[in-house]
């Protein structure tokens, strides 16, 4: 401390070191002393300085430093999260690391002031100090441990704005938060929730900012450079293969779904460019395949795909997902082995075969468990399988739990377009005749085969024009999306399908289907291969009608999974997350607002690219479009996706399911009042919008601040230009000039991650867990009278023809297992509007915290309203004999498959 002071002679004095925290600031009495470094020795806890003119110590007196050398005693507390489950080697390693930390050789901390050093003009930093020792574990956090660093800074240090962390251990650590004591502002909080890499991996220090929210123009001088440095680190240089410990966010096209090195049948086109446009994913930098230099090489299970380190699952989530994956493996593998023993995959012979999945389960014999143990790498799975004979039963999905035969009825088929797992595709019929937008030179006459006469036959005397004028006619139209792919799909022996259109009529007793059009691509002998089916009343008509509805469900299941679920929520949300980390500092108030809505999404998407949407993955194996699945998703992105239409009110108006009405919530009025997804969704959307509006108003006092916010403008430009470069020039992209612009953009993003995803994800098993209700593929076209042999088989045993047209036992159980896993909430789920201890100090602004409490209270009110609606007998689509209540937009939930709950983020 005294090394650089001017030389002078002085008597011996004693410095009594005070203890933290009773005297945080020390003053040395000003006696105009000047100091020189001299020999010292310790005497009874005092530091004794030797007078340079004397050979013996002089009388010891207590020294106080001059006012210019006032110091502050600082204590920095690091909260570190330990592993949930540990092997013996991990426990030994932890003990060693605790010892190393205890002696000051494990973690180094350094404070950075908000102020600039007035002499050097550079950052004002404290000394780099080692943490030593451990505090007692917090009683309510068994996995959290705290370690401390005590040191001093000069009183003119200013307020700390950042902490630099160096991890000297061999392994990374998870830093939950940092608390700094000793400054007059009280405890200062630095929310981290980040992995701190070892210096063996990188010498870059981890920079953690405080919980204050600051626009770029409000950044204190001492933090300006650090703020930019962190963003530069997060962007990376776009070169090389990313490593596990890195926390780098960058863009790449979807060119890693195929594996051409394993054969042409697994090659898949790159999704990017004018022909196959698509959002971008996170860049991994893996080398290209040997066969196709434009395709990125794949990493197969059990190895993991790179995502930025802070985007990976936490341990509770990882264990939960592994348990769910285990369940999927068990349900997938056992039917696969049974099919292998028989050398073929069998169809369900009767409906009782399906019922056995819930009543008796699948028997696993000892021989099969031995085979499973050889096939599965994970020892945990082998251990479970080796227990002996087991019966693995599926839970009864809610669609048949109250009414075993509801799925057969037309009103239930229609109800699910409004209150099912895909309630976002139905539209009001506003133009007639119905005309395709596809090229007629390629796909035949554009006019639909559904005529005015066919529709009016079902309208009980009402004319077509009257029905349309009174908003009574609706359409589920998958024709133009599917028809370009039907020829290729039908070339497979295992897939047969149509491009479908379905007309619904809203009668006094509810919505019902009245006509289904099934179309095939034209051929030279028949340029218009379109058939229209109505429900009829005789036995033959009933079974044909049921087959037609099954084909509609197959189309709808593909659109749901590939377009509304994967594309519109998972894939698009990834672009917002990458741009947020690259362009918005963690100090930025908009980053703090969005951060809870990013949790786990990128790792979930990486897992989907590895096992679900990849070539030969679950989606291709079990859904109708097979190897053309992601191409259909790209076609939908090209023709349908618009950011400005992803807002719930805009989407409802676009589909004609609502009309503008300034006197109604969100300024829209529903065309069908009993539309559970929309009516509940409006409540949630409105709550999010009000919360976002108050938050924006708090930080942006006028709209001019929006345009002046450099980080915010760069963020929005990057979403458009780098996240969606294939659509960057579209005229519909919203401007970002006013507070209203920002409010609508942010509400759309938060709704996408929370309410929208919840509504179309957590109903997958409740509705799809009974396969005949929602078959994901069809294997046969509908028998026609001109094909006498097949038609005769149909007349003799229509049930057999129906079941043999649906997914096989293996396919059905695979889909059921995956849907069960994807419909499940993790125990560490974080729900919309709820406060969590891990984020208790996310922002240091009491006014914002009060606004958030108001948002939370509003969501609690919404939960009460929805529960009340589900008991209202007038609302037939959510209440009635055997009708499951609509709970997908109830904000809260417990763990497991509950069919309710709105997580903050796309976490599954």
Two tokens, residue 433: 């005749």
Q: What is the pLDDT of residue 830?
A: 94
Mean residue pLDDT of the chain comes to: 87
CA torsion through residues 416, 420, 423, 425, sign: negative
Q: For the segment 114-128, what is each residue's pLDDT rounded down to a tens digit?
A: 999 988 889 999 999
Looking at residue 346, its pLDDT comes to 85
Can you give the pLDDT at residue 300? 84
Of residues 765 and 88, more confidently modeled: 765
Instruction: Identify the band that residue 369 occupies on the pLDDT scale cut at 50, 70 and 90.
Output: very low
Which of 357-366, 604-613, 782-791 shows the lowest per-residue confidence on average (mean pLDDT)?
357-366
| Cβ-Cβ contacts under 8 Å for 832 (sequence gap 6 or more) | 684, 688, 754, 755, 859, 891, 902, 903, 904
DSSP character for 892? -
Position 240 pLDDT exceeds 90: yes
Cα–Cα separations (whole angstroms), residue 439 to 201, 277, 593, 638: 56, 19, 45, 16
Taking residue 168's Cβ as centre, other Cβ atoms within 10 Å add up to 16
The region of weakest confidence among 192-206, 216-230, 293-307, 632-646 is: 293-307
pTM assigned to the model: 0.89
Partner residues linked to 146 by β-bridges:
79, 135
Q: pLDDT-derived band of residue 810, with 50, 70 and 90 as boundaries?
A: confident
pLDDT band of residue 96 (cuts 50, 70, 90) is low
Instruction: Pick the catalytic residue from 197, 588, 757, 841.
Output: 757
**How far are the Cα atoms of 786, 862, 903 from residue 888, in angstroms, in the given order?**
45, 13, 11
The residue with greater pLDDT, 85 or 507, is 507
Are the beta carbons of 462 and 472 closer than 8 angstroms? yes
How far is residue 69 from each of residues 182, 307, 906, measured CA to CA in Å? 17, 48, 53
Q: Determine the 3-state secondary structure of 281 from DSSP.
A: strand
Q: Which of 411, 605, 761, 870 is catalytic?
A: 761
Residue the block writes with tokens 């057969």: 408
Q: Where are the domains of the chain?
A: 71-235, 241-419+564-772+808-834+873-907, 425-561+777-807
Specify the pLDDT at position 381: 35
Quick one: tokens of 270? 């790159």
| Helix H or strand E encompassing 531 | strand 529-533
State yes or no: pLDDT of 60 exceeds 90.
no
Q: What is the SS3 assignment for 157?
A: coil
Cβ partners under 8 Å of residue 510, min gap 6? 411, 414, 415, 674, 876, 877
Among the residues of 836-902, which ranges form H helices?
Answer: 846-869
Least confident of 9-13, 24-28, 358-362, 608-612: 9-13
Residue 65, pLDDT > 50, answer no
Q: Which CATH number is correct for 241-419+564-772+808-834+873-907, 1.20.245.10, 3.40.50.300, 2.30.30.280, 1.10.3720.10? A: 1.20.245.10
Is residue 225 within 8 A of residue 580, CB to CB? The reply is: no
Cβ-Cβ contacts under 8 Å for 760 (sequence gap 6 or more): 421, 422, 423, 424, 560, 564, 565, 569
In terms of phi and psi (left: phi > 0; alpha: psi -120 to 50; beta: otherwise), the region of 800 is alpha
Q: Which residues pair with 281 in a beta bridge?
A: 252
pLDDT band at 34 (very low <50, low <70, confident <90, very high): very low
Rounded CA separation 421/461 (Å): 33
Confirm or reject CATH 2.60.60.20 for domain 71-235, answering yes or no. yes
Please tell me which residue in 13, 535, 570, 581 is annotated as part of the active site.
570
Q: What percent of the chain has pLDDT over 90?
A: 73
Question: What torsion, rounded to 10 degrees, do the Cα atoms 562, 566, 572, 578 define?
Answer: -140
Banded model confidence at residue 396, pLDDT cuts 50, 70, 90: very high
Radius of gyration of the chain (CA): 33
Three-class HEC string of 82-114: CCCCCCHHHHHHHHHHHHHHHCCCCEEEEEEEE
So what's the pLDDT on residue 23? 35
375 vs 362 pLDDT, higher one: 362
Which residue intervals of 595-662 are DSSP H helices? Answer: 601-611, 618-622, 629-639, 648-654
pLDDT of residue 462: 95
Q: Is the pLDDT of residue 339 over 60?
A: no
Q: Which of 434, 454, 866, 908 is catalytic?
A: 908
Quote the pLDDT of residue 576.
98
Q: Examine the residue annotation and report whether 565 is marked as an active-site residue of this protein.
A: yes
Are the CB atoms for 550 and 805 separated by under 8 Å?
yes
Which entry of 565, 581, 588, 597 is annotated as an active-site residue?
Answer: 565
CA dihedral 648, 650, 656, 659 (to 10 degrees): 100
Cβ distance 260 to 208 under 8 Å?
Answer: no
**Inter-axis angle of helices 710-718 and 572-583, nearest 10:** 150
pLDDT of residue 26: 43
At 516, the pLDDT band (50, 70, 90 cuts) reads: very high
Rounded CA separation 223/114 (Å): 6
pLDDT at 389 over 80: no
The CATH fold of domain 425-561+777-807: Nuclear Transport Factor 2; Chain: A, (3.10.450)
pLDDT at 362: 57
674-682 mean pLDDT: 98
DSSP of 490-525, one letter per residue?
A: HTSTT----EEEEEEEEETTEEEEEEEEEEE--BTT
**SS3 category, 207:** strand
Cα gap 878→873, rounded to integer Å: 8
| Active-site residue, 761 included | yes
Cα separation, 802 vs 784, whole angstroms: 14
Query: In a 10 Å sphere around its CB, with 0-12 CB exposed, 13-18 middle and 19+ buried, how is residue 41 labelled?
Result: exposed
Range 819-836 average pLDDT: 90
pLDDT digits (tens, 9 = 90+) for 739-757: 999 999 999 999 999 999 9
Q: Any idea which of 39-53, 163-177, 495-509, 888-902 has the lowest mean pLDDT?
A: 39-53
CB of 39 within 8 A of CB of 48?
Answer: no
316-320, 347-351, 857-861: least confidently modelled range: 316-320
Residue 662: C-alpha distances to residues 665, 669, 739 (Å) = 8, 9, 20
Per-residue pLDDT reduced to its tens digit, 708-731: 999 999 999 999 999 999 999 999
Per-residue pLDDT, averaged over 609-637, amounts to 95
Residue 498: which of 511, 510, 489, 508 has the closest Cα?
489
53: DSSP letter: T
Q: What is the pLDDT of residue 273?
A: 97
SS3 253: coil
Give yes or no: 80 in active site. Answer: no
Mean pLDDT lowest for which of 21-35, 70-84, 225-239, 271-285? 21-35
40-43 and 71-81: which strand pairing?
unpaired
pLDDT of residue 55: 43
What CA–CA distance (Å, rounded) separates 246 from 282? 13
What is the rounded average pLDDT of the residues 25-34?
A: 38
Q: What would the two tokens of residue 703 be?
A: 């709209």
């Amino acid at each position: 401390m005294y090394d650089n002071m001017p030389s002078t002679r002085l008597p011996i004095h004693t410095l009594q070191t005070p203890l933290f925290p009773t005297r945080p600031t020390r003053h040395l009495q000003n006696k105009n002393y000047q100091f020189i470094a001299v020999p010292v020795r310790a005497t009874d806890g005092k530091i004794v300085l030797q007078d340079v003119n004397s050979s013996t110590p002089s009388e010891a007196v207590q020294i106080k430093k001059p006012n210019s050398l006032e110091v502050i005693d600082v204590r920095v507390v690091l909260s570190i999260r330990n592993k949930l489950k540990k092997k013996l080697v991990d426990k030994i390693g932890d003990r060693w690391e605790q010892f190393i930390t205890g002696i000051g050789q494990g973690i180094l901390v350094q404070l950075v002031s908000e102020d600039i050093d007035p002499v050097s003009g550079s950052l004002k930093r404290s000394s780099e100090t080692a943490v030593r020792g451990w505090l007692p574990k917090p009683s309510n956090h068994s996995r959290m441990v705290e370690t401390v660093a005590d040191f001093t800074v000069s009183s003119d240090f200013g307020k700390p704005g950042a902490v630099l962390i160096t991890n000297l251990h061999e392994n990374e650590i998870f830093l939950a938060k940092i608390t700094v004591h000793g400054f007059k502002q009280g405890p200062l909080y630095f929310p981290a929730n980040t992995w701190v890499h070892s210096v063996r991996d990188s010498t870059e220090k981890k920079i953690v900012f405080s919980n204050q929210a600051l626009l770029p123009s409000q950044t204190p001088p001492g933090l300006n450079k650090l703020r930019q440095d962190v963003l530069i680190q997060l962007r990376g240089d776009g070169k090389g293969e990313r490593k596990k410990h890195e926390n780098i966010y960058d863009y790449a096209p979807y060119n890693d779904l195929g594996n051409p090195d394993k054969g042409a049948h697994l090659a898949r086109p790159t999704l990017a460019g004018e022909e196959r446009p698509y959002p971008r994913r996170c860049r991994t930098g893996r080398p290209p395949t040997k066969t196709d230099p434009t395709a990125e090489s794949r990493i197969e299970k059990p190895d993991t795909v790179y995502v930025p380190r802070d985007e990976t699952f936490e341990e509770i989530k990882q264990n939960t997902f592994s348990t769910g994956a285990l369940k999927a493996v068990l349900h997938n593998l056992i039917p696969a082995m049974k099919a292998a023993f028989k050398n073929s995959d069998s169809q369900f012979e009767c409906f009782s075969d399906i019922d056995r999945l819930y009543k008796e389960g699948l028997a696993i014999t000892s021989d099969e468990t031995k085979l499973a143990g050889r096939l599965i790498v994970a020892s945990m799975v082998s251990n479970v399988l080796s227990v002996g004979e087991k019966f693995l039963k599926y839970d009864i999905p809610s669609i048949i739990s109250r009414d075993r035969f509801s799925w057969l009825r037309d009103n239930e088929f229609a109800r699910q377009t409004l209150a099912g797992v895909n309630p976002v595709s139905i539209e009001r019929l506003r133009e007639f005749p119905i005309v395709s937008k596809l090229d007629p030179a390629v796909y035949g006459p554009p006019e639909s085969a559904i005529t005015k006469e066919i529709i009016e036959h079902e309208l009980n005397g009402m004319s077509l024009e009257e029905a349309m004028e009174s908003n009574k006619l609706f359409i589920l139209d998958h024709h133009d999306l599917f028809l370009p792919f039907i020829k290729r799909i039908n070339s497979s022996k295992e897939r047969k399908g149509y491009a479908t259109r379905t007309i619904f009529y809203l009668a006094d007793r509810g919505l019902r289907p009245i006509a289904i059009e099934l179309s095939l691509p034209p051929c030279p002998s028949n340029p218009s291969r379109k058939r229209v089916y109505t429900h009829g009343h005789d036995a033959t008509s009933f079974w044909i009608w049921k087959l037609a509805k099954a084909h509609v469900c197959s189309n709808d299941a593909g659109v749901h999974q590939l377009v509304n679920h994967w594309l519109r929520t998972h894939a698009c949300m990834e672009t917002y997350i990458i741009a947020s980390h690259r362009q918005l500092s963690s100090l930025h108030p908009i980053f703090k607002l969005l951060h809870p809505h990013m949790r786990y999404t990128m790792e979930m998407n990486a897992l989907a690219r590895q096992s679900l949407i990849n070539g030969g993955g679950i989606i291709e194996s079990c859904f109708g479009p097979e190897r053309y699945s992601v191409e259909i998703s790209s076609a939908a992105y090209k023709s349908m996706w618009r950011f400005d239409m992803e807002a719930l009110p805009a989407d409802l108006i676009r589909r004609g399911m609502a009309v503008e009405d300034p006197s109604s919530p969100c300024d829209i009025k529903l065309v069908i009042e009993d539309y559970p997804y929309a009516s509940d969704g409006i409540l949630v959307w409105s709550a999010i919008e009000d919360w976002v509006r108050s938050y924006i108003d708090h930080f942006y006092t006028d709209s001019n601040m929006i345009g002046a916010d450099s980080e915010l403008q760069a963020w929005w430009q990057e979403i458009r230009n780098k996240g969606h470069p294939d659509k960057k020039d579209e005229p519909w992209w919203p401007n970002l000039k006013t507070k209203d612009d920002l409010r609508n953009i942010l509400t759309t993003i938060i709704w996408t991650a929370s309410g929208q995803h919840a509504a179309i994800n957590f109903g997958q098993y409740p509705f799809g867990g009974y396969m005949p209700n929602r078959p994901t593929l069809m294997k046969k076209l509908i028998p026609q009278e001109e094909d006498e042999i097949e038609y005769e088989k149909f007349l003799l045993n229509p049930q057999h023809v129906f079941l043999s047209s649906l997914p096989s036992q293996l396919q059905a159980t695979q889909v059921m297992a995956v849907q069960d896993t994807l419909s499940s909430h993790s125990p560490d789920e974080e729900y919309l509007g709820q406060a969590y201890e891990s984020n208790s100090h996310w922002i240091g602004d009491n006014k914002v915290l009060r606004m958030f409490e108001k948002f939370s209270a509003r969501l609690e009110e919404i939960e009460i309203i929805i529960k009340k609606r589900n008991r209202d007998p007038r609302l037939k689509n959510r209440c009635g004999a055997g009708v499951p209540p609509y709970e997908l937009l109830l904000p809260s939930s417990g763990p497991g498959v509950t069919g309710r709950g709105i997580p903050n983020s796309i976490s599954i």
